[in-house]
Structure formats: structure tokens, C-alpha cells
Structure 1
């Protein structure tokens, strides 16, 4: 067998000539140096170091060389491509440093400036507390009912068994929009700004067939002076339940569930006899003080500012719906009975959050509402 023939001249490939490799390398290095930003550098990399770059295409031609010429051509090509990659990495680091330095200047934040020119707002605590009360009763199966704030005198007084000569009808207590009997063709009933949300209960009884379970929140109006404990416009929540066989025991159980849902477990309630034209029997509703749990009563060593050391906090009025009210709404009092109670949310807010002046609730100062936050 004869030895391999190594005496022939190697095949010369134009792209692999030393001067051609140097030319492609120098063009790539010049393009890298001329890149003004990172976007331009990425374009240079694709053109001079990518898979379709002149150096990459020339590198593929090494396979066409004889064995003894491949090593030298591969060495030259490797050195050229290495120089281009090294120059690219150096230029990229330089451009990134310039970008970071520019961002620090252009996007600098002056921490000495006010952090917020527009103060954050907050929901009014009256709204928040009213919706929390609604949630308690909706979870029990009640519906939320609403009605007009400008109301006919019949709905506000007559249908609720409030007599024509009742003191609440006087101009000193009620804000009249239109007095009764001003025109010959006009009905005898006047128009008032409602003094309670009980007219919503009357409208509900007229519109629906029993059973009725509704809660009626809303603003009411009375001829009161604005001071630390009174306001002519305040928010009231009333409840009405009409069904067969309802008793004071049902009223007491509903009240206790509300108190425990709003103030915590373990609190007791009591009913004190009273008189209201629209309920019979009627009672004042008290709850055990949620701060001292009644321990301040008769105990001078442990005074309580929330309940004035009485041990009880008055919530509002309640009772069984007067049969005359049921009759006025077209409901048979022999078949159905019902209970109702109501209270003012402003007063509830005052002793629940130690608010000392009711005027703070209506002046619109965000410094009052902001501590209550944005609870929804």
C-alpha cells in the first residue's frame, strides 16, 4: 500500500485568505466601536457576529480545505471571531454603564419634595357603619328598602298613628315643604322632610304582601340646632318584620343578634317600657356597655366614660307594630303581627369611636374621616 499523497497544493478559498479574514475582522471592530447605543449594538452583533455574518459564513468554508490547511485556517478564524466577541462585550458594558448613569440623572426623585400633593380621601364613617349594619340584617334574610326624603304628611304621621295634635307635627319639630290645604283642590295632607324612616315601612307594607322583612336606612330631618349632640340632618336605620306569630321574643332575639354582630359576643340587652304611637307595647332598647361590660355601674373605682358609669348604653326605640298601623297599611292585625325598632347611626358612631362632637361628622373635614380609612 502506498503512503498518503501530501505533496499537492492546498485548495485556496477566497474567504479564508489571511487578508480577507483581517478585513472582515476590522470591519466588525469598526462597527462595534461606532455603535452609539444598545439598540445599534444589537444590530451590529447580528450583522457581524450572527449566524449569517461574513465571519460565520467564512468559517463554514474551512471544511473545504485539505486536512493540513484546516488547522491554520481555523486558528486565524478563531482569533478573528474572538476579537470581535471581546470587543462586543466591552462595548456593551460601556453602553450599559452610560445608560444607567443617564437614567439616574433623568429619573432622579427629589425625596425632599412633598410625597403627595393630593391627600388621600376616605369613606365617611357614617356610610361605612350604615353598610355594616345592612350587611348584618341582609345575612339574616332582610331586604334593604328605600323611600323619598320629601314625604307626604300622611306617610310620615297619619299612617303611623301620630295624631293631628301631636307635638312632633309642630313647626318647631318638623320641616314643612308645603302646608296642608293651601289650594282648594289639594289633599289635606301636607308635604314634609321626613322626620324618620318609618314612612318607608308604611310604603313597604302597602306595596308588598306579608311576610315583610326589611331594613330602612336613610337621612332624616328635624328642626334641631347644630351642636355637639344634635344635627338637623342625621342618619337613621329602622327595621320592620311582619309575619304570622311574631312576638316580643322574636324582637329581643333579633336585637341581641345585631348587638353581638356589631360589638362582640357576650353582650346582653334589655328592654325598658316606653311609649311610641306606632308600636304597642313599646320599649327603649339598651345594650350592655361594650367597654366596661357593666362593671362600672355602682363602682367608683372603675369609671367608664363610654356609658357614664351606668353600665348600659341606650340604642333606640322598639316594640310590636301597633294594630292601627297595620290596618292603615291594609294588613289584617288579627292574622299578622310585627315588630320594629330604630336608632340613629350618628349616636352609635359617637360612643363606638369616642367621637365627642357631632359637628365633626358634617363639616366635611378629611382630618375627621381619614382615620376611619377606606373600608368597603
Structure 2
């Protein structure tokens, strides 16, 4: 038995000196000492050779040896777990940072903000109004009575009848509300979303965005209107862009004109966007109709004014050469990512 006790002491020294730097080494320790064919099992098997009068004392020695090996295994296992946890929580400050995906404004927001910025430099304030409007502010106040044929061009979505509530067809309704509560001089632009009952296609949509402008004061002339719009076009598209005015008709302005610019997509050589004319319409304009002024108690003999309105989608189409209006509302990330550098 003396020889077996010496062997156990040697095993304990060997176990005490054992080290492990990874999970495989810990597993190898378990198999060698605590496995079904390990040294602890082998030593425990010597119990059958111990005399009966020494079994109790020797059993205690064998049990202490087994606990010693198991404690060592737990220590090695815990050291590996702590090492892995420490590695997982450590930060290598020399590594490059994780890339951060940078978003961008929607192209319509970019262009809208540019338009607003240009007119703010000319002294225009910004006014906004509700998208659900009553018939008076949307049509009646703008010289569009119920039987007026021009209403057919602005077929819209009605919320209710008697009284009539509808999705506004233009931001002229905001101009109406401004004239209702403010006396001249008035100088505002009215950006916002509008709705019309249109078939959705590459060139039209049932909702779009407008920026309309209104300037009312004494001695305001058509020359003031033209110079204001000349300045806008040059600031938005560049000094080289050509401009022309064509007589037109709008119920709320008289005289009225549509404004064209030279096509930026084909350099005025002719393409599908400009319908091979070299010119693209960008806005409608005119002198405010006296009837509109009188609707809000503004003396049309003392005050005159001009108004204009443009579609943000059309301006954006020319500025960034977008060939399909539906792209603006499809939320296609591939399309939107192209404007990251345009903020």
C-alpha cells in the first residue's frame, strides 16, 4: 500500500502542475484523469486490494484524490471561460471603425429646399396649409366657380359633399388663406403636396409636389414677375439656360404665361422629354386676377400682384435627369442612394 500512496502523491503533483491554454487542453486533462479509463478511475480500482482493516482510511485518501483532480479540472475550465470572455469584451483601438451607412434627403426634398432657399433670398416668406381643403379655398376663391370648365383639368379626390371637402389640387389654396388673414404687401411661397385624379405613368401621378408664389403690392408689374423668374432659373439651372414665355390661360391670373427653359437633357437638340422641341415647360405664371383680389377685400385699383406655380418633380427631373416620375415614390434604395452627395 505504501507504493500506491507514493504513486498518488506523484499524480497529485502532476495534476497540480497541469496547465491549459484552450478548451482542447482542458478536455484532454479531463479524459486523462477523470475519464472512464483515466488515472483516477484506475487508482480507485485498487480499493479491492486494500486489507479490510485499512479500507476506511484508504477510502478517504482515494476520495480526496478524486476531489483534488475534479477541483483542478474546474479551475482549468474556468480559466478558459474567463479568457474567452475577456477576449470578447476587449476593444482593439487600432482597428478601423465599422462603416456607418450615411443616408440622404429624398431628391424631391433636396430640390424643394433649393427652390425655397432661392426665393427666400428675394424676400419671400414660406407659408403652408392643410392638404384636405374646402371647396371655397381650393376653387371658389381662385375664380373657379362650380360650373367653370377649368375644374375638369383639376379633377381631384373628394372626401365629402355638401359641404365639399377634397384633397387640394394646388397650393393656391394656401395663397387664399394668406390673403384671407394678411393685407398687402404680401410676398410668400407655398410648397406642399397636391392631388389630382390622374392615371399613374412615367409622366404623371395622382399626387405630386408644388411650390407656388404670390407677390401683392402697389405698382407690381409683369416685368417684376419676369425678372423674379429669370433670377430663379439662373440660380437653379445656371446662367446659360435660355428662357421663353408663352401666352396661356389660368382662371386666377390675367394675363397668364407659361415659362419654358431650354432642355437640359438633350441640350436643346430634341428628345422625348422636350418632345423634340428643345424646350421644356417648368411653370405657369401671371398677374393675379382682380376678381381674386376682390374675393379677399383687397382693392384691385390700388394693388396688383403676380403669382406662379411649379411642379417640384419636373424641376427635379430636369436637374437630375430622372426619366420616370414613379421613381420618386417607389422607395427604391438603388435610386435614392444616387443622391447621397447632393445634400
Above 0.5 in TM-score? yes
**Alignment match, 2:57:** none
What's the CA shift for 1:292? 5.5
What's the CA shift for 1:165? 1.5
**Alignment match, 1:241:** 215
**Alignment match, 1:151:** 133
Q: Which stretches in structure 1 are left out of the alignment for 5+ residues?
A: 1-101, 181-188, 297-302
CA contact (8 A) 1:121 1:366 kept: no
1:177/1:305 CA distance change after superposition, 3 Å: closer
CA contact (8 A) 1:306 1:351 kept: no
What's the CA shift for 1:345? 0.7
Query: 2-side partners of 1:266 and 1:226: how far apart?
Result: 33
What's the CA shift for 1:177? 0.9
Within-5 A mapping of 1:126-141: 126-141=108-123
Picking from 202, 205, 209, the partner of 1:231 is: 205
Runs of 4+ in 1 over 2 A off after TM superposition: 105-109, 118-121, 166-172, 288-294, 303-309
CA contact (8 A) 2:218 2:303 kept: yes
Is residue 200 of structure 1 aligned with residue 174 of structure 2? yes
Query: 2-side partners of 1:277 and 1:172: how far apart?
Result: 12
CA contact (8 A) 1:285 1:317 kept: yes
Instruction: Name the SS for the 1:204 alignment partner.
Output: helix
CA contact (8 A) 1:122 1:366 kept: no
What's the CA shift for 1:309? 3.9
1:172/1:349 CA distance change after superposition, 3 Å: closer
**Alignment match, 1:341:** 308
**Alignment match, 1:371:** 338
Query: 1-side partners of 2:102 and 2:150: how far apart?
Result: 42
What's the CA shift for 1:261? 0.4
What's the CA shift for 1:121? 2.4
Query: 2-side partners of 1:215 and 1:260: how far apart?
Result: 18
**Alignment match, 2:183:** 209
Is residue 260 of structure 1 aligned with residue 227 of structure 2? no
1:305/1:176 CA distance change after superposition, 3 Å: closer
1:122/1:307 CA distance change after superposition, 3 Å: same
Picking from 91, 104, 107, the partner of 1:125 is: 107
What's the CA shift for 1:276? 0.7
Instruction: Name the SS for the 1:373 alignment partner.
Output: helix
Q: How many residues align?
A: 257
String of CA shifts for 1:10-48, please: whole Å, max 9, x gaps: xxxxxxxxxxxxxxxxxxxxxxxxxxxxxxxxxxxxxxx
Picking from 273, 293, 296, the partner of 1:326 is: 293
Query: 1-side partners of 2:164 and 2:240: how far apart?
Result: 46
1:267/1:356 CA distance change after superposition, 3 Å: closer
* TM-score, L = length of structure 2: 0.69
CA contact (8 A) 1:279 1:318 kept: yes
CA contact (8 A) 1:256 1:268 kept: no
String of CA shifts for 1:220-258, please: whole Å, max 9, x gaps: 011112221111111001010001111111111011000
Q: Which has the higher helix share?
A: 2
Query: 2-side partners of 1:179 and 1:223: how far apart?
Result: 17
